[in-house]
A and B are shown apart, each in its own frame.
Chain A
Amino acid sequence: MIKYLLSRILQSIFTLFIVITIVFVLMRFMPVEGYLGEGYDKLDQVQKEIILENLGLRDPIHIQLSKFYNRLIKGDLGVSITYRPGVPVADILKGKIPYSLGIGMASLAISFVAGIKLGTVMAEDLGKMLNRLGNLYIILVNAVPAAIYYIFLQFYLTDIFKLPMLFYVDKPISWILPILSLSLGTTASYALWMKRYMADELNKDYVKLAISKGMPMKDVIKKHVFLNAFVPMVQYLPASILFTISGSIYIESLYSIPGMGGLLVEAIQRQDTPLVEAIVLIYSFMGIVGMFFGDIFMVMLDPRIRLGKSEGRV
């Protein structure tokens, strides 16, 4: 197992290296105009050349790449070139991550509790009113594009409850709506999966046995079914928590939250390579770690599964 872990880690580092290299090269295919911004049309040729040279964009690509690796090995994420010229990328991220993380975690906590509760209720109530209402909610949330229902909620709920339209750090009352809106979609998907797992468990023989032995349905659900269905739900939690830092572009744009949502897209559009690289690095790292944990969980839950070719080959 240790050998397997080691090889996975090496493999991950190798993957990260390839990803940032490809992204770097792709970013270099972007036209030079984008580095010079809005005033481009008023610049003269001499100026354009000097600015591009100063940004290091006129060096051959292998020199640019080796400079980039050298910097990265020292743990330096570099300095933003167009998004906020001159500001260290680390500072930009440090300012933004807490917002997305805070809002994201709060909404995730709500979704997790509410979703599991809703899913359980729906499974117990299969085929009846609550189940139908729950289904309606899940379908609606999935059917109506988030871009539309977020803005409707913002409009009408702030009006009805006399809340401020936007998010203000120093006014906790303004945090409620973005957090709740963000949790609607995740709640629905947690409820959906919880219901599925519960329904699967309820079909199993041990439940039938317990009931035929005279154990009350409520106790069966509480003691066995719920717990068994809950385990696979927890499985994806670490990855979900990690990914809250990427923020929601819709929610953050609508409520003026200065978080990570849409930062990657904007950094790419502005051709701010150091910033793009830093974000890609963070997201890739999380993706790889998330996948790794997913695999480990799978092995732990089902001992029959074997990963890696060194072991378990028949």
Chain B
Amino acid sequence: MKRFLILFIGVAVVLRAFILSGNIFSYHTSISDREFRLVYSGEITTLNYLTTATANEFSLLANFVDPLVEYDRFGKIQPALAEEWTVSEDGLIWTFKLRQGVKWVNHEGKVYSPVTAQDFVDGLKYVLTSDNNSKTANIVYSMIKNAKEYYEKEIRDFNQVGVKALDKYTLQYTLIKPIPYFLSTLTYTCFFPVNGQFLKDVGDKFGTDNRYILYNGPYIMPTYEAHHRRILEKNKYYWDKDKVHIDKIIMTYNKEAGVLAPEMFLRGEIDHVNIGPDLIHEWIKDEKKKDLIRPNRTNFFSYFYAFNFNPNFPEEYDPDNWEIAVNNKNFRKSIFHALDRRSALLTEEPYEPESRLLNTITPKGFLSIGEVDYTELEALKKFSREDSFNVKLALAYKEKAMEELRGEVSFPVKVLMPYNTASRQWANRAQVIKYQLERVLGRDYIDVIIEAKSPTGFFDKVRNSGNYGLMELNWGADFADPETYTHPFKRDSTFSWIYLAKAYEGEGGYTIYENLLEKAIAEVTDVSKRYSLFAAAEAFLIEEAFVIPYAVGGGGYSASRINPFEISYSPFGATSGRYKGLKLLKRPMNIDQYKRELYRWQMERKGQFERGRE
């Protein structure tokens, strides 16, 4: 045993001397400005960009295949594979002139063939062939003529579908109805091209491996070992290669990235890492580390708390009682004003919860009329500018509600609030909100019951079946129009069934909210009027406390050699995951630099749009 110990120590010492002196076993510790290394914890399941609807997947895949148009760093649409386009008078026919000389290459960077208009037709055909199980087919068939019919096999001839290659470099789409935001949807992977011959050659294998897709975007992927690593290299034949500044991206998979990656960053093994809420405390206080981190930008996911008007939960939680209570406006308003959203956000943003606070359903910065942000339009102004948390108001509404509901409802009202056990943050939030609401309103009034639900079948089991009282829900934008954020409140959605709310009957058998919405949707010519009408409908939702706006997604902190203001800026589509246009910083940006850069970016963006108007 002693001998063994001595031997072990001996070996260790020798080994260490070896490594320190000779550096025989060198690994990447040198910092290069052409090579970017990171660790990721969510592996992609497929490279088939025509079928996936997973953000993680399409944002990687957008590096390999280019769309017709792309978003620049200010969120402006720029030509990509299409050089120019026209739209017909009636807004139904869009014609694109494609860039010539763009090439498909394989995973080793060898040229396969030129990119032509037919490739876009083949792409749509693949998406709309229902046997291919594309999860984005509905985006296509909600807009393109005869696409749904083809998808459901009512039409067998693809030539009848509204997409055509007029010649080698001219592509034409025919729409069902005029869609002012059609261009923005072209950045979705379902509109990406694919080479028909290649598709035929690889058959079922398409997209199952890096060898089984072709590349025409900024990067190719010569190495892909699932659950181990992927290596991206700059595409030498890329049409816009001057804008690709990073030559090589090494991505290493690690399931424990949240714990290990920050340390790897400190040791110089990687160039980018997210610093989660658990670590941020220590990093901000540490003299050396605090200059390495900067905030992340928020995204356009809107989180809100919704009151359920279709209670469908077990008797023990008293759904009938809930139904009466939730139909009382003062009851809803008391909770609306009692919810301290900052407290809830502290679980994720212990430093600046305000950066993620959202007072409307539509996020700030999503759209604007001229210089006026959508959330600052007349109808929404008063909500955007004021925090809904107000103890005095909450208690006043409580008193009114108790008076009105006396005898009809048994107090305390049970408020069933489920959460998904897969998300630790959500679990934490649920606990915080329970205690916070009960503290403000009193346990004589409400009894918040937080219920853990397993992630298996969560959507169908909880939200879609109305198995909750008050719950955190979210929605992300699909296109550049305020209508995209109204989906959760429409009659055919299974979010919170607000059309079942009593005493809100409007005209024509619809509710007041639906009437407001209808008016807004019908307005297709005057954009500013359209936006104002949508804003009025949204204001109605908030005023009547059908929902409590809460926060936007994203945020948090990163230690990174990337400048977040160089990334393609778009609330939807796939281009925001691209590395095109990014340069590696010599040292990571800190919080002050971030704030300066943010200001500069906002100014430049404003300037851009002003110039655009002239």
Contact = CB atoms under 8 A, between A and B. Distances in A.
Complex A–B touching at CB under 8 A:
yes
Given A86-B46, A256-B254, 18 more contacts: A37-B45, A37-B54, A39-B54, A41-B459, A42-B478, A43-B138, A50-B133, A85-B45, A86-B48, A95-B226, A118-B1, A162-B16, A164-B27, A165-B263, A171-B27, A253-B254, A256-B228, A262-B255
B9 interface: no
Contact of A258 (B12, B152, B227, B457): B227
Contact of A165 (B25, B205, B206, B269): B269
Given A42-B478, A82-B45, A253-B256, A117 B459 contact: no
Contacts of A160: 16
B259 interface: yes
Contacts of B16: 160-162
B252 interface: yes
Contact of B228 (A133, A154, A258): A258
4 shortest A-B CB distances, which residue pairs? A39-B53, A31-B457, A253-B255, A258-B227
A256 B27 CA distance: 16
A38 B457 contact: no
A47 interface: yes
Nearest to A37: B54
A302 to B, nearest CB: 33
Contact of A30 (B131, B205, B456): B456
Contacts, number: 141
Given A43-B138, A256-B228, A117 B4 contact: yes
B500 interface: no
B16 to A, nearest CB: 5
B133 A83 contact: no
B406 interface: no
Contact of B131 (A42, A46, A54, A269): A54
Nearest to A270: B45
Given A84-B208, A164-B27, A47 B135 contact: yes
B587 to A, nearest CB: 21
Contacts of B205: 86
B6 to A, nearest CB: 13
Interface in B201-232: 204-209, 225-229
Contacts of A50: 130, 133, 151
B527 interface: no
A298 interface: no
Given A37-B53, A39-B135, A256-B228, A155 B456 contact: no
A205 interface: no
B226 A84 contact: yes
A121 B3 CA distance: 11
A40 B138 CA distance: 12
B256 A254 contact: yes
Contacts of A83: 45
Q: How large is the interface on B (under 10, 10 to 19, 20 to 34, 35 or more residues)?
A: 35 or more
A151 interface: yes
B260 interface: yes
B301 to A, nearest CB: 12
Contacts of A44: 138
Contacts of A39: 52-54, 135-136
Contacts of A133: 1
B226 A258 contact: yes
A17 interface: no
A304 to B, nearest CB: 37
A165 B208 contact: no
Given A171-B25, A256-B252, A33 B45 contact: no
B25 A161 contact: no
Of the candidates A54, A164, A256, the one having the most CB atoms from chain B within 10 angstroms of its own CB is A256
Interface string A23-57: 00000001111101111111110110011001100
17 contacts: A32-B457, A33-B458, A39-B136, A41-B459, A43-B53, A50-B133, A83-B45, A85-B208, A87-B209, A95-B226, A114-B4, A154-B260, A165-B269, A166-B254, A256-B228, A257-B228, A258-B253
Nearest to A47: B138
A255 to B, nearest CB: 8
B427 interface: no
Interface of A: 30-34, 36-44, 46-47, 50-51, 54-55, 82-87, 95, 114, 117-118, 121, 125, 130, 133-134, 151, 154-155, 159-166, 168-169, 171, 173-174, 253-254, 256-258, 262, 269
Given A43-B138, A84-B45, A84-B208, A151 B226 contact: no
B27 A168 contact: yes
A36 B54 CA distance: 10
Interface in B240-269: 252-256, 259-260, 263-264, 267, 269
Contact of B20 (A34, A36, A95, A162): A162
Contact of B267 (A36, A42, A47, A165): A165
B396 interface: no
A33 B456 CA distance: 8
Contacts of B20: 162
Contacts of A151: 256, 259
Contact of A33 (B52, B137, B208, B459): B459
B460 interface: yes
Nearest to A249: B255
B19 interface: yes
Interface string B457-496: 1111100000000000000001000000000000000000
B465 to A, nearest CB: 11
Interface in B1-46: 1-2, 4, 12, 15-16, 19-20, 25, 27, 39, 45-46
Given A133-B1, A258-B226, A33 B460 contact: yes
Interface string B119-141: 00000000000110101111000
Nearest to A259: B227
A111 to B, nearest CB: 14
Contacts of B133: 50-51, 54-55, 85
A165 to B, nearest CB: 5
A258 B227 CA distance: 5
A154 B56 CA distance: 28
Contacts of A33: 456-460
Contacts of A34: 456-457
Contacts of B267: 159, 165
A72 to B, nearest CB: 20
Contacts of A134: 1
B55 interface: yes
A40 B229 CA distance: 27
A54 B256 contact: no
Interface string B350-376: 000000000000000000000000000
A37 B55 CA distance: 11
B135 A86 contact: no
A165 B1 contact: no
A114 B54 CA distance: 47
B533 to A, nearest CB: 25
Contacts of B227: 256, 258
A37 B48 CA distance: 15
A165 B264 contact: yes
A36 B207 CA distance: 17
A84 B46 contact: yes
